Amino acid sequence: MQGPPDAQPEFEEFDAYTSPSDGRLVPFTNVYACNWLQVSENLIDHYHAATLHNNMTVASVDSEVAEGVSLGQCFRTMPVIQWEKTRDGNSMMFSAGRRIADDKVWIRITEMTFPNFVQTASVVPTAAELRHTTVGLTRWHVPVDDHNMIIFGWRHFNDEIDPKHTGDENECGIDKVDFLIGQTSHRTYLEGQLAPGDYEAITSIGKIAPHALEHPGRSDIGVYMCRNLLRAAIRGETPPDSTRVKARAAGDTLPMYSADSVLNIPRATDRDDDDLLRDLSNEVVAIMKECDSVASADRKQYASRRLDDLDGGMVG
Ligand SMILES: [Fe+2]
């Protein structure tokens, strides 16, 4: 029980629960022997996708295990990341821009809502191949006590986000999920040392990570923003989420900004490519926010049309 029953918030319905209409939400859990907050902070720290999940193994590990702890090739480029608060401070997001070809960029957005809700975009390699796809994973990070937590989640299976059927519904269940080795405590200590995954990275910093020992750099801006916004929400300093008020008034499901978008944008000859990626990320974020004012049923089509405006239309 996380609080008094009469204070139980309304269960929010997001677009991704019912769109596409033939999608399947497959439940899973992951049990972590540490404080819930550091699990959330792992997710908002997207740089780790390009380091931890990029063959961070010792030489003796066989290629199958090395691949198993790594995300697809597309995630291995160090992204240009920006963070911002969303929904009046009730949520925050990162946008991660990567150039995946001389004429193509990939913008990935993940949004989390305080205190403990997150939906990520695709977790399979088509994340960086398809024009525009949305949620692949829904999670609640639920404390058990100060030293233990459980992720309760849904993996989203549908032909829009995973047309090559890379995911495996049968691998989702109690303390198991179908992507990335290293999400659970089930491996031996040695296996975790030789080929670490999220579980080892998150729990090895302690059951309650001592923040006083941190040496934050620019890459930690998102983690610190997460803490500040969470602190403000707990103190009651955060105003109501106006996007929820609007969606409820319209009797509509809620959008999330989490999405992968691929754009046909060549390198510019007269400017730094990272600056270009930042601008494009901001433009895609703006498009996703515009969707707040669009009826749920029309949001995907609207976003696709606005992406066409941005790059002249996806070809190939
Ligand atoms: Fe991870």
Q: Is the pLDDT assigned to residue 316 strictly greater than 70?
A: no
Q: Alpha-carbon torsion 218, 222, 227, 229, what sign?
A: positive
Alpha carbon distances (Å) from 286 to 75, 272, 280:
23, 22, 10
**pLDDT tens-place string over residues 112-147:** 999 999 999 999 989 999 999 999 999 999 999 999
- Distance CA(34)–CA(191), nearest Å, equals 19
Q: Which residue has the higher pLDDT, 166 or 55?
A: 166
Q: Could you tell me the distance, in angstroms and rounded to a whole number, from the CA of residue 243 to the centre of ligand 1? A: 29
Position 55 scores a pLDDT of 84
Whole-number Å distance between alpha carbons of 192 and 149: 19
In the reported structure, the alpha carbon of residue 163 is separated from the centroid of ligand 1 by a whole-number distance in angstroms of 23
189 CA distance to ligand 1 centroid (A)?
18
pLDDT tens digits along 56-75:
888 888 888 888 888 888 88
Distance between Cα 309 and ligand 1 center (Å): 33
231 band by pLDDT with thresholds 50, 70 and 90: very high
Using the mean position of ligand 1's atoms as its centre, give its distance from the Cα of residue 258 in Å.
Answer: 16
The pLDDT of residue 1: 53
Cα(47) to ligand 1 centroid in Å equals 9
13 alpha carbon – ligand 1 mean position (Å):
26
pLDDT at 301 over 90: yes
